[in-house]
Amino acid sequence: MGRSPRRDLLAGLTVAIVALPLALGFGVSSGLGAEAGLATAVVAGALAAIFGGSNLQVSGPTGAMTVVLVPIVARYGPGGVLTVGLLAGLMLITLALARAGRYMQYVPAPVVEGFTLGIACVIGLQQVPNALGVAKPEGDKVLVVTWRAVEAFAEEPNWTAAGLAAAVAALMLIGARWRPAIPFSVLAVIGATVVAQLCHLDAARPIGDLPAGLPAPSPAFLDLGALGSLLAPAVAVAALAALESLLSASVADGMTVGQKHDPDKELFGQGIANLAAPLFGGVPATGAIARTAVNVRTGASSRLAALTHAAVLAVIVFAAAPLVSRIPLAALAGVLIATAIRMVEVGSLRAMARATRSDGLVLILTAVATVALDLVYAVIVGLLVAGALALRAVAKQVRLDQVPLKADLTGDHSAEEHALLTEHIVAYRIDGPLFFAAAHRFLLELSEVADVRVVILRMSRVTTMDATGALVLKDAVTKLNRRGITVLASGIRPGQRHVLDSVGALGLLRAATGDDYAGTPEAIAAARSHLHGAGVLPPAPAVPARARSHAPAAVITEESSR
């Protein structure tokens, strides 16, 4: 299956060792228990590896998904979460068939960074009750739950649990800097479990009994009457699964040479994985960035590594369930706290914040929304703010500049005639996009044109135009016409001509002469004829006829006269 099966098998074993405490911890954090996390890691991990679009992606339960699932568990119970996972799987398959995977590239980097920072904060805060050894308080808002947990700890401190969590987190963080290749998360959990057993630390609550194997697949959790109320949570889960999986696959591509994932196939694989995992009691799954990165760093080159990871976890479920059940919850909390801290790339955040004020604002708003609202709303907020700021930046690019006529005057002109032409005709060049975000500023500028007889609009540099821009141009031309000023246009591109014609603006630009012009010299000649007819100019001297054309501005333009 791969160029080096031995390296793939070793990578899969390493990822399984890293994934075991994470699967247990995220299962516990979700509210469905450690067994749900293991079931997801085994079932979804194998199916996503087989059907997904990345050779290196490792899938399973993740902290980001846990953040979304906690309020769903609180409101709808375990059966509701399983149903949501099933619905999300169907939605992911639909997205894959609609070829929606390519749209991931339009998510701005500040949104992704803020999203990741917010997730890290929420994951860390979610572990506070188990890390402090107190029962999880009621509530679905992580900040409220965390505060109540701290209050409960202050009333009755459990220093044993807090010490175990702190020791595990510290060992992971220090060990990762000292020997990155060693799986300190597993060593720390084993150490904490041994200490808790030998010292009879009753305050260190264990995970509890785990089934020795996966349950038989069953759709018994389905409640058809509740499907309507679960659609909205399912959309949130599907959106998060798509976003995180495609982001993780992109990260894997960036860490290798020659590997490139298929985004639509990846969505399909995640959909199959999420259809199957709930049938075995598992929580919804996504591509896991941390486990995928470990997979790449340890030399994986094919799907065999991710399949090996799932197989090793399956063996652990069948053979070592009694041992795993003794792991203290505080130790798992320490693992997830360290994981959350390691998710925060300080250098990347600093660089993003320093790039522009807009990038920094988007990053901060996305992170705050992730903590205060939920992940899907956070991404929506980030995208809306980023889009608004981007439109603002693009809108500033539109310019209306007066340009001299001299270079475009054809034929022989006396000094007196030249003075009359420049007195009564003014030319403006429009640069940039003429669209809804910039149009009204343009209207104000053009409407304030000085008292002349003819205005020539040079439009070959208009990069884009929408209906709003065309309507605003129409309003500006109408206002100038009411002041007795004729408006002519040159360099209109065929696509823009259609937009102008659809809102009635093209007719106004052609009203005086019955035409629009490929270049500025032709427009000046028409303006001169208009002024001669009005008695402002003497009869025009004989000049060589210039061919008119409605060819695209790229073929006949006013470039030479700029």
pLDDT digits (tens, 9 = 90+) for 202-216: 666 776 667 777 788
At residue 277, the pLDDT reads: 93
CA distance 231 to 518: 55
Q: Is the pLDDT of residue 535 over 70?
A: no
Q: Is the pLDDT of residue 88 over 90?
A: yes
Return the top range by mean pLDDT from 255-259, 532-536, 548-552. Answer: 255-259
Specify the range with the lowest mean pLDDT, choosing from 155-159, 168-172, 528-532: 528-532
CB 330 within 8 A of CB 162: yes
Which has more pLDDT, 267 or 25?
267
CA distance 52 to 307: 12
Rounded to an integer, the average pLDDT of 327-355 is 80
At residue 409, the pLDDT reads: 56
Quick: pLDDT tens for 108-133: 778 777 877 887 888 788 888 888 88
CA distance 51 to 316: 24
Task: Tell me whether strands 454-458 and 486-490 are parallel, antiparallel or unpaired.
Answer: parallel
Kindly state the DSSP code that residue 217 receives in the 8-state scheme.
P
Burial class (CB in 10 A: 0-12, 13-18, 19+), 203: middle
Q: What is the mean pLDDT of the chain?
A: 79
Q: Is the pLDDT of residue 549 over 50?
A: no
Nearest to 238 by CA among 62, 91, 86, 26: 91
Q: Dig out the tokens for 542 from the structure.
A: 């004989």
CA distance 537 to 371: 71
Q: Is the pLDDT of residue 533 over 70?
A: no
At residue 545, the pLDDT reads: 41
How far apart are the two ends of the chain, measured CA to CA in Å?
62
At residue 524, the pLDDT reads: 73
Which has more pLDDT, 239 or 254?
239
At residue 93, the pLDDT reads: 95
At residue 347, the pLDDT reads: 79
Burial 14-27 (b: 16+ CB within 10 A, else e): bbbbbbbbbbbbbb
CA distance 255 to 251: 6
Q: Is the pLDDT of residue 439 over 80?
A: no
Q: Is the pLDDT of residue 57 over 70?
A: yes
CA distance 244 to 270: 11
CB 195 within 8 A of CB 165: no
Q: Is the pLDDT of residue 442 over 90?
A: no
At residue 465, the pLDDT reads: 85
Rounded to an integer, the average pLDDT of 402-429 is 64
- Chain centroid to Cα 204, Å, comes to 40
Nearest to 65 by CA among 84, 51, 48: 84
Report which secondary-structure segment, H or E, holds 287. Answer: strand 286-287
Q: Is the pLDDT of residue 256 over 80?
A: no
At residue 561, the pLDDT reads: 38
CA distance 311 to 14: 12
Does the predicted model carry a pTM greater than 0.85?
no
Residue with tokens 């568990």: 73
At residue 1, the pLDDT reads: 42
Beta-bridge mates of residue 251 = none
CB 442 within 8 A of CB 475: no
